[in-house]
Chain A
Amino acid sequence: MDKTPEDNDYLDRTSDLKSIGKTNENPSFLEHRGNRKNFLTILNFFLLAIGGLLIISPLWWMVSTSLKTMAEVMSFPPSFWPENWLFSNYIRTWEAAPFTRYTINTLTITTLVVIGNVLSNSFIAYGFAKIPFKGKNILFAIVLATMMIPGFVTLIPQYVLFAKLNWINTYYPLFVPAFFGSAFNIFLLRQFYMTIPTELIEAAKIEGANHFYIWWKIGLPLTKPAIATVAIFSFNGAWNDFLGPLLYLNDENLYTLQIGLQVFKGQLSTQWNYLMAGSLIVLLPVILLFFFFQKYFIQGINLQSGGK
């Protein structure tokens, strides 16, 4: 890998397939291929447009349902377009359950998880990528192997561990492990560190810098794009985490948005307008994050596929 992953924005780059066929010197052959190509392009466009409608319609349905009255939700057949746009549904939803508390709790955990993941994984990945030491390959193989362990195999004994530490009903089980690195993020950041020339680090060492200094002053700044990717994936993971809070939090004051939404569902049963408003409130930060930082989502995928 000699190009930096930044160069590969797969959403922007279009393939060079269009140049195919144009080198041929037989004009009638060219024309024939050209027509066929146009037909295929149009067919392709229609397929994508229909598929696109199918993909986006659930999200529109969520918005539309969240703005309806309950009578309109229940009316048959249901419609794609709300009669009256009841934005007040959002205010009523927000007030119907302690969503403010849930949001603060979720943000607290999410922030700690993001900080933990960024610091620990960057630190560990630097060691695996840039410092030679005995047993490194074996250790890295173990890192990769841990990705194959089904989560539930460690979930139950971890619960026992955290229960014995009296960590039930605290946030510790949810964020402490983030400070000790995770296989996927180590792998992702190591891939990125590999693209940084070793000469740069050698030069800094000749100047008298030690590895801590080099990691902090050179490693972190140079891997910013990959760190952004890890931060966004971690945010997404912690924000959407359901299993952890479900297992470790019993006190309602500690509930996160995911658990809160589940409880809200239990209370409202089929009042879909409020339920969809609540769902959208919880999903909105992730949707916004996606539109603002799309590039880093793509990069995560890119780093993943570069490592086969």
Chain B
Amino acid sequence: MGKKRLTMRRKESIYGYIFVLPWIIGFLAFTAGPLVFSFAASFTNYNITSQMDFIGGENYKGLFTEDSLFWTSLWNTLYFVLFSVPLTTIGAIFLSALLNQDMPGIRFFRTLYYLPAVLSGVGVYMLWMQLLDPGTGMVNLVLSWFGIDGPNWLFDPNWTKPSLIFMKLWSVGGAMLLYLASMQGVSKNLYEAAEIDGANTWRKFFHITIPMITPVIFFDVVTSLIGGFQIFQEAYVMSNNGEGGPANSLLFYNLYMWKQAFTNFNMGYAMAMSWILFVIVFILTIFNLKLAPRWVHYEGEEK
């Protein structure tokens, strides 16, 4: 009997490995293998065609000490992350609180606010290039109704990054739905109890709703930080085939890496850049995970 059970379990195990095998192959071929290669190649002058000589830490040294564009791109990326992550997070929470109500037309509003979040790609970037066009665009037209003389947006180095942040805010609906789902999962008993104690809407929001949705806030912040550091397409399309915008103001980290890798074919150099980004993102994520127990509230802690 015992022996039969053991063979059964072994048979099950074999099935298990067969089922996850495609992922293991894919992981080795498209993730693990490339990671190893990339790490090794970041210490060489690899250019994909002719040369691959070991040059030690020269790439890393060069990036930190001689390459001012590296610092520009890092600064641009930090600027974008520092503004876009808090703004989209707060915006999404605020919006989902407004949409977490029972009133006529609420379903329509939820659909409306979510719609931009499913749209992406060149079509959306071109739309925003037109909306932000200083002469013919909608944004400056609307601002002019309020007597505001709108800036030159994508043509003014001071306004290029805010332009992209506005575009991101337009599609805040994705995160909004995440928060809405979480808010609707909050037990109404909690609100009833607070109501009996005389708590008003604000108190209920800040003392019940917010603490109860902290796990989703945590998830959203972690993923949008990782995503924010990787901004590329928007800048590529909206700065004329990746030129980097006026005064390199849209030269984000990944855009500069792209240029080094696929325009200059400084592959080893670009791979060194990618590892620096990896380390930055990794440290931030660990930092988030360490900080989480201080403010993230897990109900029952059973999960």
Task: Give A contacts to B, CB under 8 Å.
Answer: 8, 10-21, 23-24, 40-41, 44-45, 47-48, 51-52, 55-59, 61-62, 65, 73-74, 76-78, 80, 120, 123-124, 126-128, 131-134, 136, 139, 142-143, 146, 148-161, 163, 177, 179-181, 186, 210-211, 215, 236, 239-243, 246-247, 258, 261-262, 265-266, 270, 272, 275-276, 278-280, 282-283, 286-287, 289-290, 294, 297-298, 301-302, 304-305, 308
Contact = CB atoms under 8 A, between A and B. Distances in A.
Interface of B: 9, 12-20, 22-27, 29-31, 33-35, 37-38, 41, 48, 95, 98-103, 105-107, 109-116, 118-124, 126-128, 130-131, 133, 135-138, 141-142, 144, 170, 173-174, 177-178, 180-184, 188, 191-192, 195-196, 201, 215-216, 218-219, 226, 229-230, 232-233, 236-237, 241, 254, 257-258, 261-262, 267, 270-271, 274-275, 277-278, 281-282, 285, 303
A213 to B, nearest CB: 11
A252 to B, nearest CB: 16
B106 to A, nearest CB: 6
A13 B102 CA distance: 9
28 contacts: A8-B181, A11-B107, A13-B184, A15-B100, A44-B103, A51-B113, A58-B131, A58-B138, A62-B127, A65-B130, A127-B15, A131-B13, A131-B19, A132-B12, A150-B277, A150-B278, A152-B257, A154-B31, A154-B35, A242-B236, A247-B262, A258-B122, A262-B241, A265-B237, A279-B122, A282-B122, A289-B118, A301-B178
Nearest to A65: B130
B219 A308 contact: yes
A153 B265 CA distance: 16
A120 B22 contact: yes
A279 B219 CA distance: 32
Contacts of A57: 138, 142
Contact of A15 (B101, B120, B281): B101
A289 B19 CA distance: 31
Given A44-B103, A261-B123, A236 B118 contact: yes
B184 A152 contact: no
Contacts of A55: 112-113, 115-116, 170, 173
B12 A272 contact: no
Contacts of B192: 20, 23
Given A180-B29, A242-B233, 17 more contacts: A15-B183, A20-B195, A44-B98, A44-B103, A55-B116, A58-B128, A59-B116, A74-B135, A77-B144, A120-B26, A124-B20, A160-B267, A180-B27, A246-B236, A262-B241, A278-B126, A305-B216
B12 A133 contact: yes
A126 B19 contact: yes
Contacts of A181: 22-23, 26
B178 A304 contact: yes
A143 to B, nearest CB: 7
A17 B122 contact: no
A298 B177 contact: yes
B247 to A, nearest CB: 21
Which of B15, B105, B135, B282 has the most CB atoms of chain A within a 10 A radius of its CB?
Answer: B15
Contact of B102 (A15, A62, A123): A15
The list of the 3 closest CB pairs from A to B, nearest first, reads: A180-B26, A127-B19, A133-B16
Nearest to B120: A240
Contacts of A126: 19
Contacts of B120: 236, 240
A154 to B, nearest CB: 5
